[in-house]
Structure 1
């Protein structure tokens, strides 16, 4: 495990390597379940990985549930539906708290706008280097994606007035939660490097 960035460390501390893909598929096929074995992982590099991963996992474990869910949504190697729902709820709640009053119909559509922004934000920051371009930067592309994925149709007329501010706000909320999730991990990395 390398301590290059908080994003990469979050991913790597939760990643469990298999000795071979064939062994995994064989276990899954024969037993119908995964079985953890330790006999092939008695190398010094594995012990170092586990020690470093433990320090990062402690930092992650101390986070509030919603922030931890957002971090796992962004950087965990596996994403389950419950974690995704918790992360979406955290961002949606934050967006609502920072938004002016709105109708129930608009709030219902806003939930899907937030989910769409989160998918965009995750794509842009995956890999730990935040190097990907926004795949749905144009309003037309984003509206088509929302319609295709969720069946939510948003009008193109007055896009900037009706939805542009909410999209920007959702990105800001994602950035705020991202910082809150990553700062304790970055602090743990700093302490590990200092102690080494």
Structure 2
């Protein structure tokens, strides 16, 4: 595995941990050596028990025979096996590092970087961010809309985390209407919603940096080990 950054490593570790047995079997089948017809011949095989009553020749048969080199009995070469073992060891360290995080922070990280995001990831990420902010000074009606805005802020940040552009007011308003049936006016974004949006985004970024730390520690340790 290339250790580029915590985001990339988090995603690749989840890919590996979710690989199915059938996928592994397919991979091994595709990489197995192909036996060519030119190497298959006929050989005599003798079964004495079958020829005891009808003579020795009755127990002799011609059967397909094939020479197989020792290299063909290996699923992978020694070098590839060593590399694979090192790869899996690194994956294990990453997964253990993620497990050291509090549950909701794990779920938040999975929301951003897991290749198979689930509803549980979404709900826990939203709950975590809402617990990190305080909008108690807002009116009840506006606070309810800001609560819906958390989902949009998380989705926008996820796009940014994967090298996309942050959502603008029109995209946010469209998402709010489609997902919650809640209308906000893009024309008054700067006046009514920009401050709350920036506050949410800063909170999300802060949590993101925090949940990446255990993975970064693994990356730095692995690179130091290679350099030693």
TM-score (norm 1): 0.78
CA contact (8 A) 2:153 2:200 kept: yes
Hey, what does 1:162 align to over in structure 2?
Answer: 192
Deviation above 6 Å: which 4+ runs of structure 1?
A: none
User: Structure 1 residue 150 and structure 2 residue 190: aligned?
Assistant: no
Alpha-carbon separation, structure 2, partners of 1:51 and 1:92: 36
Deviates more, 1:67-76 or 1:147-156: 147-156
Aligned equivalent of 1:132: 164
- In structure 1, stretches of 5+ residues that fail to align are 25-39
Q: CA deviation at 1:84?
A: 1.3
Q: 2:139 is matched with which residue?
A: 103
Partner of 1:181: 211
Pairwise CA RMSD of aligned residues? 2.5
Deviations, residues 64-107 of structure 1 (Å, cap 9, x unaligned)? 12221111111111111112100111112212x3x351233222
Question: Displacement, 1:141?
Answer: 2.6
The reply on whether 1:76 has 2:106 as its aligned counterpart is no
Tell me the alpha carbon deviations over residues 83-134 of structure 1, each in whole angstroms, 9 at most, x when there is no partner.
Answer: 2100111112212x3x3512332222112111001101101112xxxx3222
Q: State the aligned residue count.
A: 173
Q: In the TM superposition, what is the alpha-carbon distance from 1:48 to its structure 2 partner? A: 2.1
Query: Partner of 2:193: helix, strand, or coil?
Result: helix
If you compute each CA radius of gyration, which structure gives the higher value, 1 or 2?
2
- Cα distance between partner residues in 1 of 2:194 and 2:120: 29
Aligned to 2:97: 59
The alpha-carbon deviation at position 21 of structure 1 amounts to 10
Matched residue, 1:12: 12
Aligned-partner Cα distance in 1 for 2:136–2:180: 24
Structure 2 residue corresponding to 1:117, chosen from 150, 153, 166: 153
Q: TM-score if structure 2 supplies the norm length?
A: 0.68
* Structure 2 unaligned regions, length at least 5: 28-74
Per-residue displacement from partner, 1:12-32 (whole Å, max 9, x unpaired)? Answer: 1111346759959xxxxxxxx
Counterpart-to-counterpart distance in 1, 2:24 and 2:172: 37
**Kept in 1: contact 2:136–2:143 (CA 8 A):** no
Name the SS of the counterpart of 2:15 in structure 1.
coil
Query: CA–CA distance in 1 between the matches of 2:197 and 2:206?
Result: 14
Shift of 1:156: 4.0
> What secondary structure sits across from 2:191 in the alignment?
helix
